[in-house]
Amino acid sequence: MTIPQRFAPLDSRALIAVSGPDWRGFLQGLLTQDVETLSAGEARFAALLTPQGKLLFDLFVIGRGDGCLIDVAADRRAALIQRLTLYRLRAKVEIAPLDEPVLALWPAPAGDAPEGWSPDPRLPALGLRGYGVCTPSGAIQADEAAYDAWRLGLGAPDPARDAPSETTYPIEANFDLLGGIDFKKGCFVGQETTSRMKRRGTIKTRMLPIAFDGPPPAFGAEVLAGSLRAGEVRSGADGRAMALLRLDRIEGAELTVDGRPVRVERPGYLAGEAAA
């Protein structure tokens, strides 16, 4: 069955413009993603971490000819600008809010992305992200809730909603499996903890989608494996939610939330990792 193509403005996201002769080196030393090789029109998924390696901001970096755009949660934009300004010191970098819309288009059209659109770097099935572009031809307008349902169906966390600031490691939010960390790029803020977790295989919890009947449980509701705490619910919609789960307690267990049965539905991108 052919899935109709839809697009939606993402009002929960906002843009920052970064430019100046030092912009690449400046961001390269901060973010989990390589920006030295970022090309114009390309989007890369990344994060800015605390020195202890926990998530501060999830973001996308989009190459522009004279700099880049940063796509971040709208309610965190001012805080990110403030944090980047603190790190700037004497670097020749300009950092400013940009009031252009952020949009999503899904499924992705065949062939090359239209002008102004970039493939979502996390998963091809997530479609395209657009920045200040016109309405895509032939696509049906939807709302952000429809896009969130699509994202949840693919099992991709939304760190801005699922990982409260400074409480979650990026690997727990699957950044390593969704292209959000370049382990070969060199130093970045929080690198030591992040690299050690990956290298030693000490990943005990991950965000996985859970399915159930009815409305989503409250954010933070406990997931139980029998009488043992197996994790907690994060964002969700009717029938499906993301949950931060202990991998050692969910295998073969009957899981419940608030007395309701729930089941883990592992997307292909993390099936083997979660089972391990």
Tens-of-pLDDT digits for all 276 residues of the chain?
A: 678 999 999 999 999 999 999 999 999 999 999 999 999 999 999 999 999 999 999 999 999 989 999 999 999 999 999 999 999 999 999 999 999 999 999 998 888 888 889 999 999 999 999 999 877 878 999 999 999 999 999 999 999 999 988 999 999 999 999 999 999 998 999 999 999 988 887 688 999 999 999 999 999 999 999 999 999 999 999 999 999 999 999 988 999 999 999 999 999 897 655 444
User: What is the per-residue pLDDT for 165?
Assistant: 83
Burial (CB count within 10 angstroms: exposed 0-12, middle 13-18, buried 19+), residue 175: buried
Residue with tokens 């000819």: 65
Domains along the chain with CATH numbers: 6-157 (3.30.1360.120), 161-275 (2.40.30.160)
User: What is the per-residue pLDDT for 135?
Assistant: 77
CA atoms of 97 and 70, how far apart (whole Å): 9
Which one, of 71, 79, 66, lies nearest residue 98 by Cα?
71
Compute how many other C-beta atoms are within 10 angstroms of the C-beta atom of residue 272: 10
Q: Cβ(230)–Cβ(249) under 8 Å?
A: yes
Transcribe 99-136 into DSSP letters: ---EEEEESPPSSSPPTTEEE-SS-GGG-EEEESPPPP
Which residues, in sequence order, are bridge partners of residue 260?
257
**Which residues are CB-neighbours of 275 under 8 A, at least 6 positions away?**
251, 266
The Cα-based distances of 176 to 80, 85, 125, 214, 216 in angstroms read 22, 27, 18, 31, 27
Kindly report whether the peptide bond that precedes residue 267 is cis, defined as omega within 30 degrees of 0. Answer: no
> SS3 for 256?
strand
User: What is the per-residue pLDDT for 273?
Assistant: 56
pLDDT, tens only, 16-31: 999 999 999 999 999 9
User: What is the per-residue pLDDT for 142?
Assistant: 97
The Cα-based distances of 67 to 70, 150, 270 in angstroms read 10, 31, 33
CA atoms of 161 and 184, how far apart (whole Å): 28
Order across the sheet with 67-73: list the strands: 43-49, 55-64, 67-73, 13-19, 94-98
pLDDT, tens only, 198-239: 888 768 899 999 999 999 999 999 999 999 999 999 999 999
